[in-house]
A and B are shown apart, each in its own frame.
Chain A
Amino acid sequence: MTVASRWSGSRSIGRKMVSWLFVAFCACSLALALVPLGFVLYFVLSQGLRALDAAFFLHMPAPVGEAGGGMANAIVGTLIVSGLASLVAVPIGVASGIYTSEYGGSRFASIARFAADTLNGVPSIVIGVFAYGIAVLPFKHFSAAAGGFALGIMMIPIIARTTEELLLLVPSSMREGALALGASRARAVFTVVLPAALPGIVTGIVLALARIAGETAPLLFTSFNNRFFTTDVRQPISTLTVQVFTYAISPYEDWHRQAWAGALVLVTIVFICSLLARFATRRLERMHARG
């Protein structure tokens, strides 16, 4: 009786069983996570499609008890607040991304990187409270601008980190070529590196937009809500997410239907942005792999 044959007895079958069970567990856990995804998407689609019509995009909210109505003001509000957020976040995000990628070794770059990661982890509700203190209290009323400020702060770290990563993907031979030809650092970045990474940076901005378009918590007490149509950034403004929240916790059947329609629009926006961004990043990475 050799050692090998003693080992290949019942004990080996037991080990194989354990191994097989483990693989089954891992497969099951994946399935388990996809079940809620399927259910959420199914309900948003089925409930949302029932309530979604042209009026949803074109009409104002109807008073309680009146059928119909839409979220025209909220859709415009979401666009305005997201636009304001981009105004705040794009310059800061892109420029600090350039700094951390160009001067990556410096101590201040690691501090900036740490700050971006920290900001990314701050709960959105805390950002909302902060924006309330900075942009609502001094002016004594809620405003679209305050909402844009809050969401802008949430966008900054996402844009900064993607910009940095994508600038680093640009082959260093391009940068070195420019520098070797006598270009200054600024010239090399602005005329060679940045244009090459531009699709990627736009991707980062789109990703950040996808994330903030679905945010509710920071808007509850910054841009607040508004029953009326407004484009005035000094006034409180309605947004899709806050409107969905208001409708969801209301006791009215009609409003619940509208909430589902709003959720469908939100999910569609977020998914399209994520897909676009993913597609663009994939292309950029392939470009990088080719060198």
Chain B
Amino acid sequence: MTRKDLGFRLGTGAFAFALVLVVCAIGVELVRQSMASIRAFGFGFWWTAVWDPVAARFGALPFIWGTLYSSILALLIATPIAVGIAVFTSELCPAALRQPLVFMTELLAAIPSIVYGLWGIFVLVPVVRTVESSVPATLRALPLFSGPPLGIGMLSAALILAVMVIPFTSSVAREVLRSVPGAQREAAYALGATRFEAIRAALFYARSGLVGAVILGFGRALGETMAVTMVIGNSTRLSLSLFAPQYTMAAVIANEFTEATADLYVAALMEIGLVLFIITLIVNSLSRLLIWSMTRNASLPVEAPDAVEAA
């Protein structure tokens, strides 16, 4: 290696190092800024359900609950649909239709979150309200459907999250399915399998990658901010009800950060940000590991999914 080459390597490497540094800096800065809250509340912060800025008492349980509840609900709705789309676009549809269909599902990821939120407030929420008020009284006695039918609340948030997660999960799932060797399906067909049975074999072969795709969607749902903030109702009361207004970690930061005047208040919000950072870090690493373990031997390299770029 000549000296010039070494210079080039170090020069570009410095920028790559800056990239690594940014990620570390996010973690360090969040810890530094949330120290006051970590010292004041300790681990109790995570299972205290009181959020009272006036009395300077902070507990993050309502937000953790709301974030997990809405993301898991969204996942339950989105996963079958996303896998269905992935199977349809990679295995079933005519080749001529594939590109346009893939492009259309990826448009879902390109629409800004704020536009989903605007649409949610003025279009989705009224529809959800109508649906909620038509739920029969006997069902309304259940905790899952209790409370007044406001429209704004957990159900709307989960629905809008599901729509936003679908393109991510389906595009990774499609890539994963494409990396299943053709011999898998051919063998199944040769044994007289129906289309479903052959695809089921491919899905089984790709299971770890598919789980990775679902977890990737989960990571997206956890951090989604604007659309959820606008339709979830922002109430710190813990509730099991789909109809009840609730709150998420991202939403409380978006709503209250500029209003937070006390140092402890800001630190508490920073700590919520820190935990959101750590959770998404773990979830995303896990999903990448699963997808990588699935596709590392495949002939087709799995690139960053188009949806992620188009977003």
- Measured between beta carbons, the chain A residues less than 8 angstroms from B14 are 95
> Which of A34, A37, A126, A245 has the most chain B CB atoms closer than 10 A to its own CB?
A126
> Looking across the interface, which residue of chain A has its beta carbon closest to that of B269?
A129
Asked if A40 is an interface residue, CB under 8 A from chain B, the answer is yes
- Measured between beta carbons, the chain A residues less than 8 angstroms from B244 are none
- Measured between beta carbons, the chain B residues less than 8 angstroms from A248 are 114, 117-118, 121, 230
- Measured between beta carbons, the chain B residues less than 8 angstroms from A278 are 103, 310
- Measured between beta carbons, the chain A residues less than 8 angstroms from B122 are 43, 47, 256
- Measured between beta carbons, the chain B residues less than 8 angstroms from A98 are 12
A31 CA to B266 CA in the complex, in Å? 44
Q: Which 8 A-B pairs have the closest CB atoms?
A: A123-B223, A214-B112, A29-B84, A95-B15, A121-B284, A19-B196, A96-B16, A186-B8
Chain B, 178-192, contact with A by CB distance < 8 Å: what is the 0/1 string?
A: 000000000000000
Question: Of A93, A211, A216, A263, which is within 8 A of B311 by CB?
Answer: A211
> Looking across the interface, which residue of chain B has its beta carbon closest to that of A121?
B284
Chain A, 238-279, contact with B by CB distance < 8 Å: what is the 0/1 string?
A: 000100110011000000100110010011001100100110
Number of chain B residues whose Cβ lies closer than 8 Å to a Cβ of chain A: 91
Residues B55-108 near A (CB distance < 8 A): 80-85, 87-89, 92, 101, 103-105, 107-108
> Looking across the interface, which residue of chain A has its beta carbon closest to that of B116?
A40
Say whether A186 contacts B7, CB under 8 Å. Answer: yes
A40 CA to B226 CA in the complex, in Å? 16
Chain A, 80-113, contact with B by CB distance < 8 Å: what is the 0/1 string?
A: 0000000000011101101110110000110110
Question: Of B22, B33, B101, which is within 8 A of A156 by CB?
Answer: B22
Question: Of B23, B117, B281, B309, which is within 8 A of A207 by CB?
Answer: B309
- Measured between beta carbons, the chain A residues less than 8 angstroms from B296 are none
Say whether B223 contacts A126, CB under 8 Å. Answer: yes
- Measured between beta carbons, the chain B residues less than 8 angstroms from A220 are 254, 257-258
Say whether B310 contacts A129, CB under 8 Å. Answer: no
How near does chain B come to A119, taking the closest CB pair, in angstroms? 5
- Grouping DSSP codes into helix (H, G, I), strand (E, B) and loop, the A interface class, with mixed when no group exceeds half, is helix
- Measured between beta carbons, the chain B residues less than 8 angstroms from A126 are 26, 30, 223, 273, 276-277, 280
Asked if A15 is an interface residue, CB under 8 A from chain B, the answer is yes
How near does chain B come to A145, taking the closest CB pair, in angstroms? 17
Known: A37-B111, A122-B280, A125-B254. 7 other contacts (CB 8 A): A40-B116, A129-B273, A137-B33, A184-B2, A184-B4, A186-B5, A267-B112
- Measured between beta carbons, the chain A residues less than 8 angstroms from B118 are 244, 248, 259-260, 263
Asked if A10 is an interface residue, CB under 8 A from chain B, the answer is no
How near does chain A come to B187, taking the closest CB pair, in angstroms? 17
A16 CA to B280 CA in the complex, in Å? 42
- Measured between beta carbons, the chain B residues less than 8 angstroms from A99 are 9, 12-13, 15-16
How near does chain A come to B178, taking the closest CB pair, in angstroms? 15
How near does chain B come to A282, taking the closest CB pair, in angstroms? 9
Residues B28-69 near A (CB distance < 8 A): 29-30, 32-33
A134 CA to B281 CA in the complex, in Å? 21
Asked if B25 is an interface residue, CB under 8 A from chain A, the answer is yes
Question: Of B15, B108, B167, B253, which is within 8 A of A129 by CB?
Answer: B253
Question: Looking at the complex, which of A69-77, A157-165, A226-234 is the stretch in contact with chain B?
Answer: A157-165
A sample of 11 cross-chain residue pairs with beta-carbon separation below 8 angstroms, ordered by A number, consists of A19-B194, A23-B196, A30-B84, A33-B167, A37-B105, A103-B13, A126-B223, A129-B33, A184-B4, A217-B225, A278-B310
Asked if A139 is an interface residue, CB under 8 A from chain B, the answer is no
Q: Given that A129-B270, A215-B112, A274-B310 are known contacts, is A111 also in contact with B20, CB under 8 Å in the complex?
A: yes
Say whether A127 contacts B26, CB under 8 Å. Answer: yes
Say whether B123 contacts A117, CB under 8 Å. Answer: no
How near does chain A come to B110, taking the closest CB pair, in angstroms? 5
Say whether B88 contacts A27, CB under 8 Å. Answer: yes
- Measured between beta carbons, the chain B residues less than 8 angstroms from A93 are 19
A156 CA to B17 CA in the complex, in Å? 12
- Measured between beta carbons, the chain A residues less than 8 angstroms from B283 are 121
A93 CA to B224 CA in the complex, in Å? 24
How near does chain B come to A81, taking the closest CB pair, in angstroms? 14
Asked if B211 is an interface residue, CB under 8 A from chain A, the answer is no
- Measured between beta carbons, the chain A residues less than 8 angstroms from B140 are none
- Measured between beta carbons, the chain B residues less than 8 angstroms from A102 are 9, 12
Asked if A118 is an interface residue, CB under 8 A from chain B, the answer is yes
A207 CA to B257 CA in the complex, in Å? 29
Asked if B285 is an interface residue, CB under 8 A from chain A, the answer is yes
- Measured between beta carbons, the chain A residues less than 8 angstroms from B25 are 130, 134
Say whether B107 contacts A37, CB under 8 Å. Answer: yes
Asked if A116 is an interface residue, CB under 8 A from chain B, the answer is yes
Say whether A162 contacts B309, CB under 8 Å. Answer: yes
> Which of A18, A91, A189 has the most chain B CB atoms closer than 10 A to its own CB?
A18
Say whether B13 contacts A270, CB under 8 Å. Answer: no
Asked if B304 is an interface residue, CB under 8 A from chain A, the answer is yes
A161 CA to B302 CA in the complex, in Å? 13
How near does chain B come to A99, taking the closest CB pair, in angstroms? 4
> Looking across the interface, which residue of chain A has its beta carbon closest to that of B160?
A36
Chain B, 271-289, contact with A by CB distance < 8 Å: what is the 0/1 string?
A: 0010011001101110010
Asked if B219 is an interface residue, CB under 8 A from chain A, the answer is yes
Asked if B199 is an interface residue, CB under 8 A from chain A, the answer is yes
